Homo-oligomer: A and B are copies of this chain.
Amino acid sequence: MVRFFEEVGDVACRYLTLSGENAQHGKVLRLKPGEKVLVCDGKGTEYLCEVTDAGNMTLTVKERRASTGEASVRVSVYMAFPKTDKLEHVIQKATELGADEIVAFPSARCVSRPDEKSLKKKLERWQKIAASAAEQSGRGRIPQVIALGSYAEAISRASRADKALLLYENEQAVTLKMALSGGEYHTVSLLTGPEGGLEEREVAEAREVGLQVCTLGKRILRCETAPLCALSAVMYDAGEF
């Protein structure tokens, strides 16, 4: 069934109209009256609809339900600003893999950090990448892409999760599995460094505010591989697949 992300003003509405790009897409697909389509509000609710009028793309809502594509665990991916193409790669893949939000932040060794002026435009672009990946992968929510102004803000915000974890290549004793064991969890933060890694001082600061430092194994993962590897493992651990 075709799926569209569309803003839905009134959750109890009986009719919906596809707008802008969605309406165009519906015409390209030659949707006909009576055909079933799925409209997701991008916030966790989906509407099973039937095309009523293919001219102005009006749909009749047949059923409203919670999206089935969302993970039971909410994982926030905290990533130190890497080069732009890598961040875009992580936004796309983390969305597919079910991340709840992607949070970019500066750290000491970041070689790339967008200035205030270009950030607004970039965030719009990143949000679009997330929306498109959410649509393609069948998610019910579009993860939010957030850019923070400081490392201190990032670790403080990350520390609020049930499992607040920093993945660090120099950690050898504590594995991700150890960090995830012992007690249920509903929210997870996964924090990883930039191309050059985090400084020891930064790792110590994260530890102080309550993040647990753990390893992703013996191999050194690139900065764009580590968050996706950790996210896959958390989803697996949480029973998603």
A124 at interface by CB-CB < 8 Å: no
Number of interface residues of A (CB under 8 A): 36
Seen from chain A, the residues whose Cβ lies within 8 Å of a Cβ on chain B are 68-71, 93, 96-98, 136-139, 175-177, 214-222, 225, 228-230, 232-233, 235-237, 239-241
| Residues on B with beta carbons closer than 8 Å to the beta carbon of A235 | 217, 229, 233
Shortest beta-carbon distance from A214 to chain B in Å? 8
> A137 to B220, Cβ gap below 8 A?
yes
| Residues on B with beta carbons closer than 8 Å to the beta carbon of A176 | 236, 241
> A241 to B236, Cβ gap below 8 A?
no
> B233 to A218, Cβ gap below 8 A?
no
> A241 to B139, Cβ gap below 8 A?
no
> A219 to B98, Cβ gap below 8 A?
yes
Assembled-state Cα–Cα distance A68/B217 (Å): 11
Contact of A232 among B139, B177, B218, B233 (CB under 8 A): B233
> What are 27 A-to-B residue pairs whose CB atoms are below 8 Å?
A69-B218, A71-B217, A96-B220, A96-B225, A97-B219, A97-B229, A98-B219, A136-B220, A137-B222, A138-B218, A138-B219, A139-B219, A175-B239, A175-B241, A176-B236, A176-B241, A177-B239, A177-B241, A217-B240, A218-B240, A228-B229, A229-B232, A232-B232, A232-B233, A233-B235, A233-B236, A233-B241
| Residues on B with beta carbons closer than 8 Å to the beta carbon of A139 | 219
Assembled-state Cα–Cα distance A6/B139 (Å): 46
**Which residue, of A96, A138, A175, A232, has the highest number of chain B Cβ atoms within 10 A?**
A232
Given contacts A176-B241, A217-B240, contact A225 B136 (CB under 8 A): no
Residue of B nearest to A136 (CB): B220
| Residues on B with beta carbons closer than 8 Å to the beta carbon of A218 | 68-71, 138, 240
Contact of A215 among B70, B221, B241 (CB under 8 A): B241
| Residues on B with beta carbons closer than 8 Å to the beta carbon of A239 | 175, 177
Contact of A237 among B93, B136, B230, B236 (CB under 8 A): B236
Assembled-state Cα–Cα distance A214/B239 (Å): 13
Given contacts A229-B232, A233-B236, A236-B237, contact A219 B175 (CB under 8 A): no
Residue of B nearest to A215 (CB): B241
Given contacts A221-B137, A233-B236, A236-B233, contact A216 B228 (CB under 8 A): no
